[in-house]
Structure formats: structure tokens, C-alpha cells
Structure 1
Amino acid sequence: MTSTRSSNTLLQDIPPQLLNYFEEEDFKTTTLKKVKLTTGFFNFSGLIYLKKGRFSFSLPQRNLDTLYSFIIEQNGWFGGLTLMQLPHPFLLINEIEPVELLYIPKDRLTKIADAHPLIYKWLLNIAAHNIPQWLQVPIIALSNKNIRVLYCLATLLPLNKRDFSLIEIDASQQKISDICGLSRPRVNQVLKKLEQQELIKVQHKKIIIQSTTALFKLLDEANLCFYDPRE
């Protein structure tokens, strides 16, 4: 699990041809409920820009205990490699906060990029931004439950409040369970231990981080060779 922490806006650095496409569409937005889903699974093939909210893509393995999760942040792009000859996986999506997104299907994106090849370079830049986080995912997924929950909490911290004061995370234990790929009882065990250490306080559908510095210190034990959410 990891996150795209981009500060870019929709209009920043976007190729004009894609901007024209969005203008033709009048910047219409959609929600995850309107994206083509099959019982929570999305046959991903296209480019996504997230205007509002947060959600996670999960790449389920045969053993769901090693669920791979990648968090998409507001103002984040995902799908930079969608035009490469890669298999298009069914991704499990989990809405963390209500989202509004723009989605360009692969067939439409291909036509625009073929007519304007510089778009391929722009898409590679998006991929390069996401790759460190994506490479970190399987390492965390194979870590112990403590590291997986701690990493999840670190990636869920609000982007505009990354200081060391009191921080609230709007996420239930079930949401954390879905993102981590751990059972809810195992997540609860880790959260209770953190509560006993007075690092967090668990409330209804909310977790209050009481000591960000101390919580981050526990992640020193994790292998964060590709991406460190504390930075």
C-alpha cells in the first residue's frame, strides 16, 4: 500500500490536446459508483484524474493476506502506463473518502496520443511519479501486521496537516482492514496496542493520532527502500 502525493492541479502541465478533450467534455466528473465495476472490481484500462476524495486500488493475490493496495490522492493521476502492451488487471477499489474523478478510456486516450506523440512522454512522467510508491507495495504487503497497519496510518494522514500536532484520520477499522489486506481482528489487535502506548485513540470511524513523531519512529523497522510516506 502506498499513495500518490501529488500537488499538481488538473491544468498544470497537462498536454493541451488532453485539455481540449476535457474542455469538450465540459470537465464532467463521475464517481466510483458510475465507473464500470463488477462487484467492486474495476477492469482498469485508461487514465484517471482524481478531483476530490481518496480511494485505493488493490491488486488481490491468490492469498488475500498479501493484498496489494495503492492509495490515489486528490489531484493525483493514475494510469500512465495504460497505453503499453501490458495485461489490464481487475483491480479491487475501495473508496476511502467520497470521490469525483475524470476518466479517459484507453481507446480514446490512444487516439489522442497517436495524433500527438508528446502525450506519451507526459504519460511516462506520470508513471515515473507513481513507480516508487507502486514498488513499495509488495514489500509492505509481505511485512508483519504491525508494519502494515502503521504504514497504512502514515499514508492516510491528511496531506495538508503533516506536522506533529494532533491529527484525525477519517477511516474506520474496516477501511484500514480493506487497505491492509488484514482481517479486522488483526487490525484491531495492532490498534489496541498503539492505544495502550498512547500513540492513538480509536473512535467511531475515526482514529486520532496523538503522537505523530512516536508513531513514525515505529516505522524505522520497515523496509522503505522505494517510498517512505513520512517524508
Structure 2
Amino acid sequence: MTDGISWPCGLSKETKEQLESISIHKEDSQLSFLRSYQPFDGLYCISRGIISFGYETENNRGLTSVSATFGQGDWFGASSIANPMQTFIQAELVEPCKFHFFHRNQLLQLLKKNDEIYKLLYFITRESHVTVAQCHIISLAEMIPKVSYVLLDLLTKVRRYSHKSSHVQVSQVQLSRIAGVSRPKLNQILKQMEKDNTISVHYGSIEIVKPEALAVKLQGVDLSYKNPIPHLF
């Protein structure tokens, strides 16, 4: 960690200084890709908050896949540096976000004189692919494991900056989109989980009362790419 930036790999002091010199702070209100299908305009390192990305079809109808969620210390945007093509990705702000931002044009200039930037892009891309691959696997599971995985995954992101928190600031509308489950079915699942005292539903948030009970619902599910459970117990 240097000046609030969580580096995804080992980098020389010189490279970190070059990157810090082009870094600017951004708020989520400044993000163009939240309002349209615009390509990422550079690299983003989340310094605070939680955001998820889900794929949509061209006619704007959401798929039933689980969205990839990123939190404090995570990076995204590496795939757009060389090829800033239009995407059909729907961003969902779970919690207000702040970012360290590195503009694409400035990164391309750095690449011309510093090969270590390729190392940074590689590690960011690799970690993003791991996250997305796990989401694809979870998308094939039944609805209860999908919802359980998303809740535990969100809780791991919350505990990066609030170690003992059990509250996830996510609405049922957001959870429905992130988990790829319809609102009626999600309501049924949450009501049963609340009846079992596994969770407690509040306005705009969900308290994870028994994360171990959610973990049990993931037994038999392939978590080989990214398993949130070891980070919670």
C-alpha cells in the first residue's frame, strides 16, 4: 500500500512513482460508464466502496448471470487499455465509491518507456478473470446458492474496511440484479433465510446473522476460482 493505493503485484519504486504522478481521485458521480455503455477510460483502483458489473444483451434485458463484485483494493479496466471497445456491462453501485484513476492515454505513454506497466496490467487482468470465472460457475447453481454466494462475497468486501461488520448495504432490487434472480423468487429466499435466523432484512441493507449457515448452502458448489468463505472464518 502506497499513498492509499493497493498494488496488485510487486512494482519498483520508480514505477509506483510514475503511476502516482498520473493518478487522480474520482468519485462515482464522475463515472461515464455508470450512465451508458461506454468503455472504461483507464484503470481504476477502488479506495472505498463496492461496485458490481453484470453483462446485458443488446436490447438491454439483463441475463441471469451473477455479477462480478469489486471492493476496496480491487482494480478494473485493464482490458480496455489496448482495445477501448464498447461494452454491454451494467455497473451497479452497491456502496458509494472512491477511486484512484489512471487515464488510458497517460498509461499508453508510460508503456512506451516502462515495460513494468505490462506486469501491472497482467496481474489486474488475471485477478479480474478469476473473479468473473467464479461468477460464471455460480450462475449455473440453483438460486439459493447463488444468493448465498453473493451475500457472503459482499460481506468479504465490507469487512475489508469494517472488520466486524455483519451488515451489507444492498437493497433487494440491487441484490436481485447482482445475483441474477427475479424479485419474487429473491423475496421468497430472503424470507426463508430470515425465518431461519440466517439473515435480518432491513430497509436498504441486509444483516448477515449467521454467515456459517450461508456457507453451508454452498456445499457442493465449485468455489475453486474464488471462495469467500475462508476470508470470513
TM bin, normalised by shorter chain, reads 0.7 to 0.9
SS state at 2:219 partner: helix
SS state at 2:146 partner: helix
- The alpha-carbon distance between structure 1 residues 30 and 219, as it changes in their structure 2 partners (threshold 3 A), is same
Query: Who is 2:45 aligned against?
Result: 49
SS state at 1:208 partner: strand
SS state at 1:115 partner: coil
- Deviations 1:121-166, CA, capped at 9 Å, x for gaps: 1221222233222211112223222121111101111224898x88
Asked if structure 1 preserves the Cα contact closer than 8 Å seen for 2:55 and 2:63, the reply is: no
Name the aligned partner's letter for residue 124 of structure 1: Y
Name the aligned partner's letter for residue 28 of structure 2: L
- Deviations 1:63-118, CA, capped at 9 Å, x for gaps: 62324411111121113333455855232111111111122232321121122112
**Match among 72, 79, 90 for residue 81 of structure 1:** 79
Q: CA deviation at 1:183?
A: 2.2
Q: CA deviation at 1:29?
A: 1.4
- The alpha-carbon distance between structure 1 residues 44 and 10, as it changes in their structure 2 partners (threshold 3 A), is same
**Match among 28, 35, 41 for residue 39 of structure 1:** 35
- The alpha-carbon distance between structure 1 residues 42 and 102, as it changes in their structure 2 partners (threshold 3 A), is farther
Alpha-carbon distance in 2 for matches of 1:175, 1:182: 10
Q: What is the 5 A alignment of 1:87-166? A: 87-157=85-155, 158-160=158-160
1:10 aligns to 2:33 (yes or no) = no
Query: Who is 2:188 aligned against?
Result: 189
- The alpha-carbon distance between structure 1 residues 48 and 30, as it changes in their structure 2 partners (threshold 3 A), is same
Name the aligned partner's letter for residue 32 of structure 1: D
Alpha-carbon distance in 2 for matches of 1:40, 1:193: 36
Is there any run of 5+ residues in structure 1 with no aligned partner, and where?
Answer: 1-5
Alpha-carbon distance in 1 for matches of 2:97, 2:223: 28
Alpha-carbon distance in 1 for matches of 2:32, 2:162: 34
SS state at 1:30 partner: strand
1:59 aligns to 2:58 (yes or no) = no
Alpha-carbon distance in 2 for matches of 1:154, 1:209: 8
Asked if structure 2 preserves the Cα contact closer than 8 Å seen for 1:31 and 1:101, the reply is: yes
Asked if structure 1 preserves the Cα contact closer than 8 Å seen for 2:54 and 2:67, the reply is: yes
Q: CA deviation at 1:40?
A: 4.8
Name the aligned partner's letter for residue 110 of structure 1: L
Query: Who is 2:26 aligned against?
Result: 30
Query: TM-score normalised to the size of structure 1?
Result: 0.82
Alpha-carbon distance in 1 for matches of 2:223, 2:68: 15
Asked if structure 2 preserves the Cα contact closer than 8 Å seen for 1:51 and 1:75, the reply is: yes
Asked if structure 2 preserves the Cα contact closer than 8 Å seen for 1:44 and 1:91, the reply is: no
Name the aligned partner's letter for residue 225 of structure 2: F
SS state at 2:26 partner: coil
- The alpha-carbon distance between structure 1 residues 42 and 83, as it changes in their structure 2 partners (threshold 3 A), is closer
Asked if structure 2 preserves the Cα contact closer than 8 Å seen for 1:57 and 1:69, the reply is: yes
Asked if structure 2 preserves the Cα contact closer than 8 Å seen for 1:80 and 1:125, the reply is: no
Superposition CA RMSD, Å: 2.9
Query: TM-score normalised to the size of structure 2?
Result: 0.81
Is there any run of 5+ residues in structure 2 with no aligned partner, and where?
Answer: none
Further displaced range: 8-17 or 179-188: 8-17
Query: Who is 1:168 aligned against?
Result: 167
Percent of paired sites with the same residue = 23
Asked if structure 2 preserves the Cα contact closer than 8 Å seen for 1:166 and 1:211, the reply is: no
Query: Who is 2:178 aligned against?
Result: 179
Q: CA deviation at 1:170?
A: 1.7
